[in-house]
């Protein structure tokens, strides 16, 4: 087999090579500098390669070498707390080698091959093992136990297993057939890791964000999209999800974002405190940074690198949340490469296979039973950055056909300082029905009814706002004025949430239920009072209603809520007795 050839033609990151035998997705080294590339097309005796680095200066005739291996990532202890580029080169190590700017042709191992890890076996000689079975553990960070697994395509009987300190390349287990198992595996990024079966997504991912958990929940192993224009709060929302969602591992992919925005993420994430342990959030996070000025081909590979790392931790039995920010920049990278290949363009110049690529990515999410019978999940939350906030553009529309949760960010809400700026009229979740049993058992049998009532009131408010803009709210009948007041409480007390307040930043499900239930009780009492003859202005002026908005910031939530409920009961009783007294006096006259 011919493993060396030469460059025939160059078009940006797309290089045509001749005189070499290749297979699809083989990794090749291009030019005198050995730039890393990947075979993406084969035409007769020529191979088309997308190069993951800047190709300026290389010329036809320079040598090309085929490695014979697909683009793969190194999986093992040391992934957590790492910051990689799109093809798993550790950025801190590259910086130490060459400073702030990455030179071409430079490679670095994804894992530290020198570091020693304390390996503790959990199987013994004579045990039968198969793909995915845990053979030992390593304490990767203070909060993450790394479970060393048998590679998916290996099985047999343990002949010898060691205990002690080893590097990721040392053999820690030998099978009777002579196969050696290390702590490190390599896996092709474009190939999903195998599982026994996918499970029904019937457990919610608790995020502590009221509008997400309350109105538009996502299931563990589910898929969600956050489209929104610039400045609408995508990054803060994803940081809140990374910090508070009840998953053990976070994989954050900065795919094609501006350098200054990615720099903010890289400086803020290490400083974030994990609320579960009080230690740095980075101790359960993997960051992949591929900024907009990095080569587009590496950006196209970055999402596959991220999802493969996520699958690895899922196979250990962990719940993983993967944040992709943003899939629009990934699609733009595909569009550029497609145009270089002179492929037939689809809508707005995107490749015709845009929808298929998005599907391949999102379908790697799921709650699964691993090969070893462990339960794990990957929840994918992809940010979309539609130009000008236009949700009708191809990336947003193709994403909506795939994902089951749509959190639509609204620039107008952000301008009004309503955060999270998720538009409750445009957003939806297709998991609500499947999660009903969980809510009934773990929150309250009344939860679903309360949520449906709140959504119904918000829809009514939207319809009434058109009339209010024409004639003013005072012209509405009293019952419709009351509807507007109750929906204002839902918006300002339940839907709005302060990400930077120490108490309000996270709201557990029991608090969410109590808040929603209290607003519902106020609405029921207010309608009853209105029917008994109480004036609408007297109801709107009640102090307990205004005090309810402060409860969510109180450290003693239950105590503060009880005070408000008691005051609410007294105020409504007082209103009814005043109405009764005035009615009696009018009758006496």
CATH code, 375: 3.40.50.300
Mean pLDDT, the chain, whole residue set: 90
Least confident interval from 180-184, 299-303, 362-366: 299-303
Least confident interval from 98-107, 299-308, 557-566: 98-107
Q: Which band of pLDDT confidence, cut at 50, 70 and 90, is reported for residue 255?
A: confident
- 222 within a domain of the structure (yes/no): yes
Question: Within its chain, how far is the Cα of 370 from the centroid?
Answer: 21
The three-class DSSP label of residue 86 is coil
H helices within 443-541, ranges in order? Answer: 447-471, 478-489, 509-531, 536-540
Residue 293, exposed/middle/buried by CB under 10 A (0-12, 13-18, 19+)? exposed
Task: Answer whether the bond into residue 420 is a cis peptide, omega within 30°.
Answer: yes
Q: Which band of pLDDT confidence, cut at 50, 70 and 90, is reported for residue 434?
A: very high
- 80 within a domain of the structure (yes/no): no
Same domain, 455 and 405: no
The three-class DSSP label of residue 376 is strand
Same domain, 315 and 404: yes
With contact defined as beta carbons under 8 Å apart, do 430 and 404 qualify? yes
Q: Which band of pLDDT confidence, cut at 50, 70 and 90, is reported for residue 239?
A: confident
Same domain, 576 and 471: yes
515: nearest Cα among 542, 552, 485, 546: 552
Q: What is the pLDDT of residue 2?
A: 65
- 105 within a domain of the structure (yes/no): no
Helices 447-471, 509-531: inter-axial angle, 10-degree rounding: 60
Run of H or E residues at 299: helix 296-315
Q: Which band of pLDDT confidence, cut at 50, 70 and 90, is reported for residue 588?
A: very low
Same domain, 275 and 338: yes
- 25 within a domain of the structure (yes/no): yes
0.75 cut: is pTM over it? yes
14 beta partners = 11, 50
Same domain, 297 and 386: yes
With contact defined as beta carbons under 8 Å apart, do 256 and 303 qualify? no
Count of CB atoms within 10 A of residue 412's CB? 11
Q: Which band of pLDDT confidence, cut at 50, 70 and 90, is reported for residue 583?
A: low
Same domain, 179 and 289: no
Run of H or E residues at 354: helix 354-362
> Of 70, 96, 126, which marks where a domain is finished?
70
Same domain, 231 and 371: yes
118: nearest Cα among 139, 104, 87, 141: 139
Rounded Cα gap, residues 74 and 415, in angstroms: 44
Which whole number is the average pLDDT over 572-585? 66
The encoded tokens of residue 532 equal 């008994």
439: phi then psi, degrees, rounded to nearest 5: -65, -40
Rounded Cα gap, residues 579 and 589, in angstroms: 16
> Of 161, 183, 205, which marks where a domain is finished?
183
Domain count, the chain: 4
Which whole number is the average pLDDT over 89-113? 83
Rounded Cα gap, residues 366 and 219, in angstroms: 9
Rounded Cα gap, residues 415 and 549, in angstroms: 21
Same domain, 216 and 352: yes
> Of 126, 154, 183, which marks where a domain is finished?
183
Which whole number is the average pLDDT over 461-471? 88
pLDDT tens readout for residues 477-515? 999 999 999 999 999 999 999 988 989 999 999 999 999
- 260 within a domain of the structure (yes/no): yes
- 297 within a domain of the structure (yes/no): yes
218: phi then psi, degrees, rounded to nearest 5: -115, 140
Rounded Cα gap, residues 283 and 294, in angstroms: 26
CATH code, 158: 2.40.50.100
Same domain, 367 and 274: yes
Rounded Cα gap, residues 158 and 121, in angstroms: 11
- 85 within a domain of the structure (yes/no): no
DSSP 476: S
Same domain, 265 and 178: no
Rounded Cα gap, residues 509 and 384, in angstroms: 28
422: nearest Cα among 243, 233, 570, 213: 233
The encoded tokens of residue 82 equal 């790492």
Q: What is the pLDDT of residue 1?
A: 53
Same domain, 341 and 215: yes
Burial 262-287 (b: 16+ CB within 10 A, else e): beebeeebeeeebeeeeebbbbbbbb
Rounded Cα gap, residues 39 and 278, in angstroms: 45
Q: What is the pLDDT of residue 589?
A: 45
Which whole number is the average pLDDT over 433-450? 95
Number of helical (H) and strand (E) elements in the chain, helices listed first: 16, 26
- 322 within a domain of the structure (yes/no): yes
Same domain, 290 and 397: yes
pLDDT tens readout for residues 365-423? 999 999 999 999 999 999 998 888 888 999 999 999 999 999 999 989 999 989 999 99
Range of the domain at 286: 197-429
């Amino acid at each position: 087999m011919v493993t060396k050839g030469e460059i025939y033609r160059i078009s940006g990151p797309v290089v045509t090579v001749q005189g070499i035998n290749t297979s699809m997705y083989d990794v090749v080294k291009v030019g005198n500098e050995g730039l890393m590339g990947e075979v993406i097309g084969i035409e007769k005796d020529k191979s088309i390669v997308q190069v993951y680095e800047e190709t300026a200066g290389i010329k036809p005739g320079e040598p090309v070498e085929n490695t014979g291996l697909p683009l793969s990532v190194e999986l093992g202890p040391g992934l957590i707390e790492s910051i990689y580029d799109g093809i798993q080169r550790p950025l801190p190590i590259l910086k130490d080698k060459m400073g702030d700017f990455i030179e071409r042709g430079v490679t670095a191992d994804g894992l530290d091959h020198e570091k020693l890890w304390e390996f503790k076996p959990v199987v013994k000689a004579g045990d039968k093992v198969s793909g995915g079975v845990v053979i030992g553990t390593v304490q990767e960070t203070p909060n993450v136990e790394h479970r060393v697994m048998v590679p998916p395509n290996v099985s047999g009987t343990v002949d010898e297993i060691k205990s002690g300190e080893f590097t990721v390349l040392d053999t820690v287990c030998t099978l009777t057939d002579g196969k050696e198992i290390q702590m490190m595996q390599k896996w092709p990024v474009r190939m999903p890791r195998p599982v026994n079966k996918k499970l029904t997504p019937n457990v919610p991912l608790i995020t502590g964000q009221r509008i997400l958990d309350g109105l538009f929940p996502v299931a563990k192993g589910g898929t969600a999209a956050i489209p929104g224009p610039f400045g609408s709060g995508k990054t803060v929302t994803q940081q809140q999800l990374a910090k508070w969602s009840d998953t053990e591992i976070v994989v954050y992919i900065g795919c094609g974002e501006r350098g200054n925005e990615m720099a903010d993420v890289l400086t803020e994430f290490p400083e974030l405190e994990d609320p579960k342990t009080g230690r740095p959030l980075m101790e359960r996070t993997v960051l992949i940074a591929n900024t907009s000025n990095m080569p587009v081909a590496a950006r196209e590979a970055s999402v596959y690198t991220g999802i493969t790392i996520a699958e690895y931790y899922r196979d250990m039995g962990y719940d993983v949340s993967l944040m992709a920010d943003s899939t629009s920049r990934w699609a733009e990278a595909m569009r550029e490469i497609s145009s270089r290949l002179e492929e037939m363009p689809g809508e707005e110049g995107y490749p015709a296979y845009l929808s298929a690529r998005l599907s391949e990515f999102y379908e790697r999410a799921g709650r699964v039973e691993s090969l070893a019978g462990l339960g794990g999940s990957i929840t994918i939350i992809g940010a979309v950055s539609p130009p000008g906030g236009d949700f009708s553009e191809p990336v947003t529309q193709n994403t909506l056909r795939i994902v089951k949760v749509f959190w639509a960010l609204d620039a107008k809400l952000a301008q009004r300082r309503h955060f999270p700026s998720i538009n409750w009229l445009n957003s939806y979740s297709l998991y609500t029905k499947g999660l009903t049993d969980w809510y009934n058992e773990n929150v309250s049998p009344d939860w679903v009814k309360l949520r449906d009532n709140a959504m119904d009131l918000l829809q009514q408010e939207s319809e009434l706002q058109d009339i209010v803009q024409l004639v003013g709210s005072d012209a509405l009948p009293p019952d419709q004025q009351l509807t507007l007041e109750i929906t204002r409480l839902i918006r300002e007390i339940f839907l709005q949430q302060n990400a930077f307040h120490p108490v309000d930043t996270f709201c557990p499900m029991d608090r969410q239920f109590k808040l929603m239930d209290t607003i519902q009780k106020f609405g029921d009492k207010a309608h009853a009072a209105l029917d008994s003859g109480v004036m609408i202005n007297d109801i709107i002026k009640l102090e307990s209603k205004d005090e309810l908005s402060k409860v969510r910031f109180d450290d003693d939530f239950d105590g503060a809520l009880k005070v408000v409920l008691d005051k609410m009961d007294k105020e409504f009783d007082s209103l009814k007795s005043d109405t009764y007294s005035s009615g009696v006096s009018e009758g006496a006259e």
